[in-house]
Amino acid sequence: MLAKRIFNLIRIFLFAFTPMQAVKAEAVSKMEGWYGTTEDIFGDIVFPTLDKKIEKEYGRNWGWQWQRIVGISYNENHSYDVDIKIQVSSERNEPLDYVDDQVKLRISPSCDSRKLNQLKCNHGLKIEILEYKHLSQ
Write the CATH number for 100.
Answer: 3.10.450
Percent helix, strand, coil in the chain (nearest 5)?
Answer: 30, 35, 35
Rounded-to-integer distance, Cα 135 and Cα 131, Å: 12
In a domain, 27, yes or no: no
- pLDDT band (50, 70, 90) for residue 103: very high
- How do residues 51-99 score in pLDDT, each as one tens digit? 888 888 887 777 888 888 899 998 887 788 999 998 888 665 555 678 8
Domain count, the chain: 1
Highest mean pLDDT among 5-14, 33-42, 52-61, 89-98: 52-61
In a domain, 71, yes or no: yes
| Domain coverage including residue 64 | 39-134
β-pair type (62-75, 79-90): antiparallel
